[in-house]
Amino acid sequence: DSGVTQTPKHLITATGQRVTLRCSPRSGDLSVYWYQQSLDQGLQFLIQYYNGEERAKGNILERFSAQQFPDLHSELNLSSLELGDSALYFCASSATGTANAGELFFGEGSRLTVL
């Protein structure tokens, strides 16, 4: 158990709809990362938050948005869903400090299916 909790584990929805994925990081971790894993694109970095502020942005579509709340949990909002958005969405968190630099702890993912 990584200590990172993601909900829901599975989600099935229709094109055009909007969903919210939730992530609770490990206790004490200030950084949260969102990744998308699909068969054709592999593991793609979407966005990172650090203590409530956006820290880095990757290949995140304009239809997607994220935020990190004061209690450090994060939400990824996906709107106007398309079939191609079907994927496994991972949240990861990391401890601060150079000793642990780059060691991410991943949740088990939220599998999104868009029909």
- What does the binding site for another protein look like in residue numbers (CB under 8 A)? 2, 4, 31, 33, 35, 42-43, 45, 48, 50, 55-56, 58, 90, 92, 94, 101-109
Which of 35, 64 has the CB closer to another protein?
A: 35
Q: How far is the CB of 19 from another protein (least distance, A)?
A: 19
- Measured at the alpha carbon of residue 88, what is the angle toward residues 10 and 65, in degrees to the nearest 5? 95
Give the angle 11-54-34 at the CA atoms, nearest 5°: 30
Shortest Å distance, C-beta 111 to another protein: 9
Whole-number Å distance between alpha carbons of 65 and 75? 8
